[in-house]
Amino acid sequence: MEALAADPRRGCRSLAEQARRRWQREQEERAAYRQRFAHELRFWRRGLRLVAGVDEAGRGPLAGPVVAAAVVLEPDAYLPGLKDSKLLDARRRERLYRLILARALAVAVAAAPAARVDRLNIHRAGLAAMARAVGRLPVRPQAVLVDGFTIPGLPLPQEALVGGDNLSNSIAAAAVVAKVHRDRLMLALHRRAPQYGFARHKGYPTQEHRQAISRFGPSPHHRRSFKW
């Protein structure tokens, strides 16, 4: 950048300014990313190095499972572009999903199918899926950060963060993993029952989805306890 900025040619100075702005954005993103480790840091300072972030995807759909994910990140893990999964498009979520699998210390998922959602209700089914995801981690976590609600019966220190995917990198990573995993499950369901259009709406209550239920009736993957 210094060499370009010192060059008398206008084009070189323009390139230097573009590079400077890009470098500045990257530094700001890294700083914001480090700040989102504040909740993990409180556990790390107590010697609890294995902190699992936990989140779920699929509370609102009329069909398909609710999926939970647990992710353990190391303090030096940098995942550029990580943020609330709802603010990411599918392409960016897929890229981050691969990055998380490559750089996380541990990742696990668990799902509660529609029948279990109907039997337990969506809240309890989601919490049960979260507990199973934590239990499936290949390393035993020493603490848990969870989006929204603590997980009943989990014999670990926990902290529940409302809007946790905006506050914790570990929770944000878990949210991305849960969302991508669930979307892939819904694509598989679409191949088995294409008349419902699961590939497009992922089971959420769109007009197209409601019309398909009205026309074809509910499938075994629809939640009978939800209002269609």
If 0-12 CB within 10 Å is exposed, 13-18 middle and 19+ buried, where does residue 220 land? exposed
Identify the pLDDT of residue 5.
Answer: 61
> CA neighbours within 13 Å on the CB side: how many for 23?
8
Identify the pLDDT of residue 156.
Answer: 95
For domain 38-216, give the CATH number.
3.30.420.10
Three-class SS state of 66: strand
- Expressed in angstroms, the distance from the first to the final Cα of the chain is 58
Identify the pLDDT of residue 214.
Answer: 96
Identify the pLDDT of residue 115.
Answer: 97
Identify the pLDDT of residue 195.
Answer: 98
- pLDDT per residue as tens digits for the range 95-131: 999 999 999 999 999 999 999 999 999 999 999 999 9
Positions in the chain whose pLDDT score sits under 50 = none
Rounded CA gap, 210 and 65, in Å?
Answer: 18
Identify the pLDDT of residue 29.
Answer: 85
Identify the pLDDT of residue 219.
Answer: 96
Task: Give the start-to-end residue ranges of the domains of the chain.
Answer: 2-35, 38-216
Identify the pLDDT of residue 18.
Answer: 76
Can you read off the two tokens belonging to residue 165? 């995917």
